[in-house]
Structure formats: structure tokens, C-alpha cells
Amino acid sequence: MKRSFLPQVVICVVSGLPAAVNAQSPYRIPVVVHVVHDDGNENISDAQVRNGIEILTRNWRKQNPDTVEIAMPFKPIAADMEVEFELARLDPDGQCTNGINRLRSALTTSGTHAVKELIHWPRDKYLNVYVVRNAAGLAGHALMPFQADSIPEKDGIVIQGSYFGNIGTSNDVRSMVLSHEVGHYFNLYHIWGGNNVPGFYYLPVGQQANCEVGDEVDDTPATIGWSTCNLSAASCDGTPDNVQNFMDYSYCGRMFTEGQKARVHAALNSPVAQRNNLWSAQNLQATGLGEPATLCKADFRGRRIWCVGEEVTLTDASYHGATEWTWDLGNGTQQTGASPVFTYASSGIYDVGLTVGNGTTTISTTKERFLYVLPVTGQPGQYVEGFEGIADITGSSVFTECEDVPCMELASVGATGSASVRIPNNGAPMGRTYALTSPRLDLTGITQPVIRFKYAFARRDTTNTDRLLVRISRDCGKTWFLRRTILPADLPTVANTVQGAFVPGPGDWTHVSSIIIPQNYATDNLLVRIEFISGGGNDLYIDDINIDSNTVIGIDELEMTRWQLAPNPTYDIFRIDGPMERQDVTILSVTGEHLRTLRNVPSGGQVSVGDLATGTYFVRLTAPGVAVTRRLVVMR
């Protein structure tokens, strides 16, 4: 006999209740998907997001075509859950949205509850879904209503991007995960009992003791739970196991049961974690689902740096239902279609405009300085930008990129002189990205080229996670090679936190020196990009960008700075860039524990750290007469 599973809390919604009367039937749930990425494959497309929501609704409405494969004992109780999911059309401020937010954060690599601190729409109005690279070591996780009731800031679902939908980075089998996690969100346990979510009680799958636990649903037979699709399983009392249930770990989910449906409907009509407000007529109106979708915003996306003669592509991202598109390319020409392809004959910085329509309504938008079209040949020799003698940032040689306004501006304070670039980070949303990109450079005449610049930064509190990255490109910005990451602990140039506006004094600047440009990048088409990712800190200032030969500095600085590890942070390997042909490499823990030593590693050689846990390590590089220690961050 299967007994009820009850972990030291009182569950306010229980099975056995009849499905509540829902005048809005089926239940409609507004969803917002927050794509938390760090330029990896987890930054899934809008199309994959929409596909994932469509498959979620299909599975919950018993419209998945593989229901014909449900094992005979369970076909009579396979349920249409009568719940549908739709991307929100209005945000919490009542503004037009497509229900998809994108923000950059290193938290995507951990995927714990901390990602919900980046952005969280009101849980009584939206189901918050977070797409990440790694969901705390799981495919996904979600708090159940009784768990989330007193911690609304942790309510929602975290899921790996490679398990979202069945297109792009995912597939049919992995697409089942979201249906499973939404089950937890509406109070369904695993069919063997428990809910494996970070920081809460969980019950391992496949344990014989699970036969005595259960999921508090009468029509799901007792089971140990399965991680394989064993359709002949009868693991507890000889009764066939419901292995094809979406709440198992079998990855052959085809169904929910009528008992699970009753439990979900009870949760939908309970105030616990405010699930009963999601589908109310008032909330559907507030989130934009109360009326048919209407065209409400013109928008577009695309790579912003190209070369003269290269085929440029832009893509419509308007909300909702555009059927007509007219593009103003800023060079006196126009294009039509949702995703035009065109070229520029002259270099320059171009405004791009888009007008969209649906036969009755037209909406327009123009993005100033959106495209940076590079000349055929790069600027030869040393590159220097000190931001002096110009009226505003548009008069400098750098191309600025920001996700929205306010963007960067010229400041009347500098490391040298009286000007620099100020990034208005004080109060900026977490994960906002700012970038400064150099002109196209020709470094073929420079020996041992390096990147140098100065910056000043203050934290607002000690928990800030702001980061600074330096990348280079040799294909007109199509791909970028990471050369330096300055992590949150190392980024501040002043010891104290600053709550008000931070204005650096003469002693508040630091010099980032000798970021090595590998010889195969020292071409006639190099781009250098300095990126800043907001993590809640104060403003950041950049000055004195200099790209020239490393041979102009003294020998002491040369030996100390030319040894670099890249990429850093790393996930599995790092490469050594240094002045010596060969060196010994010793890896130490932060406490000084010796982990390994590799002898005679060549410069440019790779070192594997795929077996190391997430954390910070020290790498000691030694050669005759020289020893340098570098810090290495390993991420999973």
C-alpha cells in the first residue's frame, strides 16, 4: 500500500478534490521567459522560446501525437489537464512585451535560485521561467506552491536551454522537461514522491524504499521511479508502473493522470503561492492576454558590426503580428521583408529604421548609430584613444553598443587629461551589457602587439557582480576571442563602496596592461572590444586605450605581465601565453595545496582542468630565473 508523502509541512491543496469550475476554461497562464546567458548556446532564439511554450501547452492539453503509445493500463486515465500557457503581452508596467527577456550574467553557469534575483516579475501575475546554461546540475528545477508560498522571490522554474522546446539546441526527448517542471509548479510530486530542487528535501529516484512513499495521487501506482523507459516495470506490488508519466525521470513521458489533473486544479484554485490569481480574468487583462494579440511595437535585431561589401542581415522582432515591413538603411536605400539582406558600399555608422504594419496599423522605430560598417583596410600602426578634444562620445574613434538608453557618455574627468568614457551603471538593471569597439586595425607592422587601457570603478555594496571583459575579432565582429576577464572581486579600484554618484579622483584609476594579442590575430583586420556587464555596482570610467608593441615597456613589467592564461574563466582548458618557449606549470588550490605540476609546457600549449571543481585556483609558471603566479577561475 502506498502511503502519503508529507515532508514536515502542511500542504494546503490535496488530491481527491474535484476539478474546480473555471469559467475561463481552459485555464490560461501568462508566462515570461528570462533568458539568462553569457554568450553561450543557452541564449536560445525567440523561435525556440515560442516552440517550448507551444510544446508545453500541447503536452498539458493531451495533444501530443505520441499519446497513441500510452501503455494500455493507463490510456483510460490519461488526462487533458485543461491548462494552456501563453507568453505575456504586457509587462508589469503595462508596456508591450513579447514575454521574453534577455540578460547576461555569469549566474547562468550555476543556475541556482540566485538567477531569480536578477529579474523577477510578480509571481501572482506571471509564471517566471529562467533559461540558463546549467540548472544547478539538473535539467531543470521548480519550487512547489507550499515551498514557494513564503519565499515569493524564489518562485519560478529554472531550466537548461538545451531542454527547452524541440528545435534549436533541444530535441523531442529533452522537450519533456518543461512539462515536468510545470507539474512541480502546480503541486505535483515525482510519481515516486519528492521534488529534487536545490536547498530542499528530495527523494532519490530508483530506491526500493520509495514504494512506501508516493506522490499523494491515488491513480499513479506505487513505484521506485525510473531513469529509463522500462515499460514492463512493476517495481512495488506487481502493479504496472506509470513509467510514461511526465512526472517520472524516464524521458518517455506521454501523459498525466486524472488524479494529477484534480491535484493541479486544486492548486490553481488555492491562494497558496497565489496560483489562483494567474488565470483570473483581471490578470489576463493585466498581462495582455484578455484581448486578441495586436501589433504594438516595431523592433528588430541583428549583428551591429559588419564590413564594406559583406552581406548584412537584420531580423524583425516586432510585437505582435506584423505582415508588412519597410526598412530604411540609413544610406538612402530601402528594403522590404521580415529579414532583408543587403550590403553597404561605404564605411560609416548608420541609423536604421523599420516600419511595420498588419494591414490596418503601422508602427515605426529608428535606432540611431545602429550599424558600424568597417572599411576594407584597417588603420595601420599604433592605436590610441584618450577621448580628449571632442564634444561628446560620438566624436571619438570607438563604436559604442548598449542594450538601451542611457548609453555611454563623455565624462569631464580622466586618468590623464580631462576626459574619459563614463558607463552609467549606477542603478542599471542587472546583466545590462555595454561595449566599446575600436576601429578596424592593421597590426601587421607591430611586433608583439598588446592592449592597454585604464579604468576606475566603485562598488555600491560587497555583493556586486559587475565584470569587465576584453575580446578581439578578425572577422568583422562575427566571432570574438576572449582575452581577459576582470572578475567582480578584482574590478573595484577604490576600497570603499559608494552609494551616490562615483566620480574618480587621480588616485582611483588602475592600469590594465599587456593583454597579449596572439600573432595570428595581428592582421590587417583586427577589432578590439571592451565589454562591461552590470552587476549592481556604480559607474565605470574608461580612458587611455592603447594598442601597440609590448617592446616599448620595461623588462620588469614585460616579464610580469606577458604571462597570461586564456580563456580565464575557463570551463575545461586554458592556454598559456608567455615570453618563454617552455615553462613548468603548477596548479594550487586557494589554500596553497599542491594539485599537480606539468613540466616543459610550451607557450601556446593547452592545460586541461576539466576534472577540477568550480572555484578559484593559482597557477604558478616557472622558467629559469623567472616565476609568475596567475589566478585561474574554473566554471562548470
- Output the nine-digit C-alpha cell for 615: 572555484
Whole-number Å distance between alpha carbons of 315 and 311: 13
Paired residues of 354 in beta bridges: 327, 365
Question: Helix crossing, 176-185 with 46-60: angle to 10°?
Answer: 60
581 part of the active site: no
Contact residues for 139 (Cβ-Cβ < 8 A; gap 6+) = 159, 160, 163, 174, 177
Whole-number Å distance between alpha carbons of 185 and 179: 10
Q: Pick the catalytic residue: 84, 181, 216, 401? A: 181
Whole-number Å distance between alpha carbons of 226 and 580: 55
In this structure, are residues 268 and 275 in contact, taking their beta carbons and an 8 Å threshold?
Answer: yes
Buried b (16+ CB within 10 A) or exposed e, 560-596: ebbbbbbbbbbeeebbbbbbbeebebbbbeeeeeeee
Residue reference for cell 592564461: 565
> DSSP secondary-structure letter at 149?
T
- Output the nine-digit C-alpha cell for 74: 493507463
Beta pairing class for 527-533 and 540-549: unpaired
Whole-number Å distance between alpha carbons of 488 and 491: 5
Whole-number Å distance between alpha carbons of 233 and 247: 16
Beta pairing class for 441-442 and 379-380: parallel
Paired residues of 366 in beta bridges: 353
Whole-number Å distance between alpha carbons of 261 and 267: 10
Q: Which of 34, 100, 30 is nearest to 285 (CA)?
A: 30
- Output the nine-digit C-alpha cell for 3: 502511503
Contact residues for 72 (Cβ-Cβ < 8 A; gap 6+) = none
Helices (H), ranges, 312-455:
none
Beta pairing class for 399-402 and 433-437: antiparallel
Contact residues for 581 (Cβ-Cβ < 8 A; gap 6+) = 602, 603
Whole-number Å distance between alpha carbons of 582 and 621: 10
In this structure, are residues 204 and 220 in contact, taking their beta carbons and an 8 Å threshold?
Answer: no
Residue 13 backbone dihedrals phi, psi, to 5 degrees? -125, 130
Catalytic residues: 181
